[in-house]
Structure 1
């Protein structure tokens, strides 16, 4: 795993994810964090955007996914974020956290969340 990472912390979106009809109809707030693990050495040395990940693009992708798609589970949303970003960028690993601040459970809490960690598939070298 690379020691370098880009962090997009506490992105807030409005989406329609959940298993209950009211969640799908009314929607609610979701908070997303991602940690992108990759080698940032060349980007830092050369001050070059092409040698890193454009976090504005990542933000836009996540915003579109959260706001325009519907998942029953935050686990499904997190998996889609991870899989798509791993495929789109030269990442070694990704951590995705999705928080649901107001889940319909009839009690008080800060939030419910899921955190997943996925690694890029290793390419077999001959």
Structure 2
């Protein structure tokens, strides 16, 4: 099974529980992986036979920039639902969202949420 991946998309969003997160916002990174039978579907170098990853990027960008949530878990679940609805030809979709400016007293790189949907996860 082929996979189409877009890694480390970066967006400045206003997700979070605390007022300062909603006011100042923070950087989120998003990775997406779409399972698609490239080996059997793409033979003629025709863009219409594959999943247009430029459109996938634009759909994710538009969604995360216009749908603020308290929880990145909610953002992840709802972004995944949008993608599975919009790209039914993908046999599975995995989405990861990383949040860097997390109001936790501790030393770590980020908090990451991963969700998956579709027939093949």
Structure 1 residues not aligned, in runs of 5+: 121-126
Instruction: Determine helix, strand or coil for the equivalent of 2:34.
Output: strand
Deviations 1:32-84 (A, max 9, x none): 00000111135531111111111111111111111222011111111112111
Partner Cα separation in structure 1 for residue 44 and residue 76 of structure 2: 32
Q: Is the 8 A contact 2:94 2:114 kept in 1?
A: yes
**TM-score, length-scaled by structure 1:** 0.88
Partner Cα separation in structure 2 for residue 6 and residue 22 of structure 1: 36
1:106 Cα offset (Å): 2.1
Q: How many residues align?
A: 119
Partner Cα separation in structure 2 for residue 117 and residue 69 of structure 1: 19
Q: Is the 8 A contact 2:98 2:110 kept in 1?
A: yes
Instruction: Determine helix, strand or coil for the equivalent of 2:11.
Output: strand
Structure 2 residues not aligned, in runs of 5+: none
Runs of 4+ residues over 2 Å off in structure 1: 41-44
Query: Which residue is 2:90 aligned to?
Result: 91
Residues 1:62 and 2:60 aligned together:
yes
Instruction: Determine helix, strand or coil for the equivalent of 2:42.
Output: helix
Partner Cα separation in structure 1 for residue 41 and residue 25 of structure 2: 39
Q: Is the 8 A contact 2:6 2:32 kept in 1?
A: yes
Query: Which residue is 1:101 aligned to?
Result: 100
Q: 1:17 aligns with which of 15, 21, 41?
A: 15
Partner Cα separation in structure 2 for residue 93 and residue 110 of structure 1: 28
Residues 1:115 and 2:107 aligned together:
no
